Structure 1
Amino acid sequence: MMKTLVAFLLLVASIVATGHGSSEEAAYQIYPLRLKSGAGSDGATVQGITCASWRLAVEAHNIIEWTTVPAECENYVGNYMLGQQYRQDSKAVNREAYLYVRALALPNDGRNVWVFDVDETSLSNLPYYAQNGFGAEPYNSTTFYAWVETGAAPALPETQKLYNKLLNLGIKIVFLTGRPLNQTEVTASNLKKAGYYTWHKLILKNKTEYSGATAVVYKSAERGKLEKEGYRIVGNSGDQWSDILGTSTGRRAFKLPDPMYYLS
């Protein structure tokens, strides 16, 4: 049964990534999965607040340094990620990003770049989480890296739309991810398979250079290198606050929804 579900997920991901949806709505649904049942509805509570309020506090960066989704909220988070609200929230963020950049009067000097995170920003790992759970259990790097090596993650549809619009505006794309250097080839292949056909730079984390560094330190340093090379960061998109905090964050940053995990 599980193998059948995974095969179905990968088939749907392939259809979405190659743009074969029968309509705008069909292409917009990352995974038409059955929602999770049982506890975890909007009315479920953890430490005296509803899971919906917990998610809001997480997205607003009021609850920080948390390690896992509270067990009481795992089904709620699963339903949110697999339901329409997650897609609508992603659409709202990317729409604002486009409205912002469209209004800019940017020099046509080839120095304008937009920085995108990869996981849960450009690519979606929902097939992995649908199989392995939505965060109440500790993160398992072994199983997640095995999933990454399949190179099967589809694009987040609304981020991909923004990506295409930015290219049409002449803005260069930089992908900046916390994935390690040894995943460069599979990440590049996955991005292309998902429809991100071109980019100016794909930056992965050199764990020797950034040993022990947080995501904020690492990404700030790499964005700083871009600026030293003369690039103008007009926008920065990420699903984690650590993607958009720190230094050299760009002219404006956009936080995509992700209540499944927290990276400092």
Structure 2
Amino acid sequence: MEFGQDFVMGAAARVLEVIAFLVLAAFSRKICSRRFSWASDPPTDAPVGYCLSWRLAVEANNVRSWRTVPSWCLRHVEDYMTGGQYERDIELIVDQAAGYVKDIDVSEDGMDAWILDIDDTCISNLVYYRGRRYGVDPFDGPGFVAWAVRGECPAIPLVLRLFQRLIEAGFKVILVTGRDKASLGEATIANLQCEGFDGYERLIMRTVDWRGKGAVAFKSGVRKQLVEEGYRIWGNVGDQWSDLQGEFVGNRTFKIPNPMYFVP
């Protein structure tokens, strides 16, 4: 009798093990299949966590050469840019840069320099990109020029504060931008002055000699020229990785977040 009971109980236990194994296998296949689909074509109902991971990968430069923000991440990017987290992230970055500045003994020869990008580093194009659904819609070159030529890009306050601190500390601040000098030179100068960016050493814009060349090549070339002139580049601030890559990037680089577009 005891043998019969042990046999029945053992058989029941084995049946439960088989059922548990089949359920776990089915669940694992579902999860793995879903994760694999995200790699190429995330579902329109992708969870919030996916868009957070996508934005983190963008900032870490693990996602490259992307043309537009995934449509299913529109709300996430909008909330990030307008809900306060964007400003909090910039504040942390600026605080790190300011702490670094305090430890530098600025020379009296006037050759200690910092480089700042302009678009979405010093001044913001958020109004323009709101009309492009925060980067979900493809970049519109003529439309952007029409926006920028108005000279209404507001300062990013925390970066303006860093800019002013650098000037007060005795650094030569050099603004380097991929904006076209012929079409946007006057508007950019006026816009910067209106927003409080006074006292910079030089504004360097893209000229006809650099048309057709990527941002890394252009900005590396500019920095190389500055170093050859004798400048010591202590810091480099930009919202694109292409602002901070290539040659002569400086002693330290600081990346301003930007999940709305990618400049190669």
Query: Quick one: distance in 1 between partners of 2:236 and 2:153?
Result: 21
Q: Contact conserved, 2:106 with 2:170, CA < 8 A, in 1?
A: no
Which runs of 5 or more residues in structure 2 are unaligned?
Answer: 1-43
Query: What residue number does 1:121 align with?
Result: 121
Matches within 5 A, 1:15-164: 45=46, 50-164=50-164
Instruction: Give me the CA root mean square deviation.
Output: 1.6
The Cα shift of 1:107 comes to 2.0
Decide which structure has greater helix share.
Answer: 2
The Cα shift of 1:243 comes to 0.2
**Structure 1 stretch 129-138 or stretch 73-82: which is displaced more?**
129-138
Task: State the AA in 1 paired with 2:202.
Answer: K
Query: Quick one: distance in 2 between partners of 1:174 and 1:68?
Result: 30
Runs of 4 or more, structure 1, over 4 Å off, are none
Q: Contact conserved, 2:106 with 2:169, CA < 8 A, in 1?
A: no
Query: Quick one: distance in 1 between partners of 2:157 and 2:239?
Result: 14
The Cα shift of 1:44 comes to 6.0
The Cα shift of 1:210 comes to 1.7
The Cα shift of 1:184 comes to 0.9
Query: Quick one: distance in 1 between partners of 2:153 and 2:212?
Result: 27
Tell me: CA distance 1:105–1:209, structure 2 relative to 1, closer, same or farther (3 Å): same
Secondary structure, counterpart of 1:146 in structure 2: helix
The Cα shift of 1:49 comes to 6.0
Query: What residue number does 1:170 align with?
Result: 170
Query: Quick one: distance in 1 between partners of 2:84 and 2:245?
Result: 28
Instruction: Give the TM-score, by structure 2 length.
Output: 0.80
Query: What residue number does 2:186 align with?
Result: 185
Task: State the AA in 2 paired with 1:81.
Answer: M
Q: Contact conserved, 2:167 with 2:200, CA < 8 A, in 1?
A: no
The Cα shift of 1:45 comes to 2.6
Query: Quick one: distance in 1 between partners of 2:211 and 2:131?
Result: 31
Query: Quick one: distance in 1 between partners of 2:49 and 2:70?
Result: 12
Instruction: Give the TM-score, by structure 1 length.
Output: 0.80
The Cα shift of 1:142 comes to 1.3
Query: Quick one: distance in 1 between partners of 2:129 and 2:210?
Result: 28
Per-residue CA distance 1:123-157 (angstroms, 9 max, x = gap): 00111122332111110111111110110011001
**Which of these two proteins has the greater Rg computed from alpha carbons?**
2
Q: Contact conserved, 1:70 with 1:136, CA < 8 A, in 2?
A: yes
Q: Contact conserved, 1:45 with 1:72, CA < 8 A, in 2?
A: yes
Secondary structure, counterpart of 1:248 in structure 2: coil
Per-residue CA distance 1:105-130 (angstroms, 9 max, x = gap): 23221001110000000000111122
Query: Quick one: distance in 2 between partners of 1:152 and 1:53?
Result: 33
Query: Quick one: distance in 2 between partners of 1:201 and 1:240?
Result: 20
Which runs of 5 or more residues in structure 1 are unaligned?
Answer: 1-42
